[in-house]
Amino acid sequence: MTAAIPDQRAARSAVLSEQLHDADPEVSAAIEAELARQRGTLEMIASENFAPLAVMQAQGSVLTNKYAEGYPGRRYYGGCEHVDIVERLAIDRVKELFGAEAANVQPHSGAQANAAAMAALLEPGDTILGLDLAHGGHLTHGMRINFSGRLYTVAAYQVGEDHHRIDMERVRELAREHRPKLIVAGWSAYPRHLDFAAFRAVADEVGAYLMVDMAHFAGLVAAGLHPSPVPHAHVVTTTTHKTLGGPRGGVILSTRELAKKINSAVFPGQQGGPLEHVIAAKAVAFGMAARPEFAERQRRTLEGASILAARLLAEDTRAAGVSVLTGGTDVHLVLVDLRDSDLDGQQAEDRLHQVGITVNRNAVPFDPRPPMVSSGVRIGTPALAARGFGAEEFHEVADIIATAFLPGFDEQVSAALRKRVQVLADRFPLYPGGFPAAPGRPSSATPSAPRPSATPSAAQSATQEADA
């Protein structure tokens, strides 16, 4: 057999060194355009954040090449000695961050974390009691066509029609009536703290497990700025990319007694090989969340949400029929109620998109409109706090949003608001030192985003549903 000469050997492996902008110009261009959009607009979708460069470097590492079915020290593949180190770091760091006895860092998403936790605790047909989707709950808390609604018998608690808050006496009544095996506390669109001790008392009374989904507020808990569910719940699930600001993924925290069941439900119950490159990014994010500057960012996140709520409750917006559900917020998001306004949720989302602010329309409790239109908007502050915004900037953002919701919004007003948004975006450049993962232009130049159009494209419209 004739050995390949050096040039031939290099040619055979050249694909491994090919840059994205050479290998796939179309994907490269779309990524560059998205980077420009993020830099030139203000992200205020409550479930979105900006991952630190170090997190993205870990996620884009050679760990993506490694299969590692199983758990550290008990793998079904060889060569796992280094990914074992990474996964153990992630486990130890998240346990310390939240004071948990056990942790599984392998779930690919919050939804899969919830699915695995339920599979560990329930049998098909068992009853779960969770917050109604139309009242701020999540798909995985019992929506009829979701796995949770198809596999399990679902009972739902709601918020009060007059105060839009969860009534724990009503939760207790429903628990006594339906005798659930699992009670889910957590939300996708609810602006107030939950009483975890009260939820646990109800669960104990009816012999149920308590699972808390803290996907939205985990970063606030880590910073000590939100009550922790860990001392009260049997199981706590979370995503790692919302207020935590890490990579997209999930985590399950549990008591030591439930750890084996949880681990088996994740692998082999729900998943095969874990995404070790994402687990590495989780480890980095957990380490960053233990720093003092992370807590300071979470403080600004809460401050920004409070400033926004106060501005939207001012005399001019109230006169225009704009309101804020529950009269304020304890967390990182504000739920705007437009039922008495001339705007619906879609129109409000479109107006803000036009001036360079990204939010999502969101149903409000007892909403008379269909979900794709809705009567509300969900607005969050984590991404702007990550970008460096403080009280001064949040006051300006809040006034821009309020002005966009007032009567008299036209092209002239829109243009003026867009300029104000651009000033803020330029004042706090995103990834200012350059973005090595971005294809094409390796320089530190910060291109401006194209001006958003007033009307989303068909593709945009198809993807603008309320997110997790």
pLDDT digits (tens, 9 = 90+) for 6-27: 677 888 888 899 999 999 999 9
pLDDT the model gives residue 64 = 98
Q: What is the pLDDT of residue 3?
A: 62
Catalytic residue among 69, 132, 195, 303: 69
* pLDDT band at residue 149 using 50, 70 and 90 as cut-offs: confident
Burial of 207 (0-12, 13-18, 19+ CB in 10 A): exposed
Flag whether pLDDT at 433 surpasses 90.
no
On the question of pLDDT at 166 being above 50, the answer is yes
With contact defined as beta carbons under 8 Å apart, do 366 and 346 qualify?
A: no
Nearby residues of 352 by Cβ (< 8 Å), 6 or more positions away: 44, 358, 359, 377, 401, 404
> Using 50, 70 and 90 to split pLDDT, how confident is the model at 434?
confident
| Cα gap 18→330, rounded to integer Å | 48
Q: Which of 66, 75, 192, 242 is catalytic?
A: 242
Given the residues 67, 95, 165, 467, select the one marked as catalytic.
67
Domain parsing of the chain, residue ranges: 62-289, 292-429
Q: What is the pTM of this model?
A: 0.91
Checking if the pLDDT of 5 tops 80, the result is no
Please, which pLDDT band fits residue 421 given cuts at 50, 70 and 90? Answer: very high
Of residues 371, 337, 232, 222, the one with CA closest to residue 286:
222
Annotated catalytic, 22? Answer: no
The tokens for 211 are 């699972």
Q: The domain 292-429 is classified under which CATH number: 3.40.718.10, 2.40.10.10, 3.90.1150.10, 3.90.1200.10?
A: 3.90.1150.10
Q: Could you say which of 75, 192, 200, 248 is catalytic?
A: 248
**Looking at residue 4, what is its pLDDT?**
63
Establish how many alpha carbons lie within 13 A of residue 4's alpha carbon, considering only the half-sphere containing its beta carbon. 8
Coil, strand or helix at 48: coil
Mean pLDDT of the chain: 93
Asked if 67 is an active-site residue, the reply is yes
How far is CA 191 from each of CA 136, 205, 211, 305, 441, rounded to the nearest angstrom? 9, 27, 19, 10, 41
Please check the confidence at residue 80 and state whether its pLDDT lies above 80.
Answer: yes
pLDDT exceeds cutoff 70 at 444? no
Catalytic site residue 242? yes
Q: Is pLDDT above 80 for 458?
A: no
Is 69 noted as a catalytic residue in this protein? Answer: yes
Question: Is the separation of the CB atoms in 72 and 88 below 8 Å?
Answer: yes
pLDDT of residue 460: 34
248 an active-site residue?
yes
Find, among 34, 35, 32, the residue nearest to 440 by Cα: 32
Both tokens assigned to 402: 């309020």
Question: Which distant-in-sequence residues (6+ apart) come within 8 Å of 328 by Cβ?
Answer: 191, 306, 309, 310, 313
Per annotation, catalytic residue among 213, 330, 349, 367: 213
What CATH topology corresponds to 62-289?
Aspartate Aminotransferase; domain 2 (3.40.640)
Look at residue 456 in the predicted model and tell me its pLDDT: 38
Q: What is the CA radius of gyration of the chain?
A: 23
Per-residue confidence band for 71, with pLDDT thresholds at 50, 70 and 90: very high
pLDDT (0 to 100) of residue 12: 84
pLDDT at 449: 45
DSSP for 358-405? E-EE---TT-SS-TTT-SEEEEE-HHHHHHT--HHHHHHHHHHHHHHH
152 flagged as catalytic: no
Nearest Cα neighbor of 219 from 253, 246, 189 is 246
Cite the DSSP H helix spans in 257-360: 259-264, 276-289, 292-312, 315-319, 345-355
Phi, psi of 129 (to 5 degrees): -125, 115
Q: Is the pLDDT of residue 157 over 90?
A: yes
Can you tell me which residue has the tokens 């590495």? 280
- Catalytic pick from 127, 237, 238, 239? 239
- Which residue type is seen at 280? A
Which of 8-17, 70-79, 413-422 shows the lowest mean pLDDT across its residues?
8-17
- Report helix, strand and coil shares of the chain as percent, to nearest 5: 50, 10, 40
Q: pLDDT tier at 2 (50, 70, 90 boundaries)?
A: low
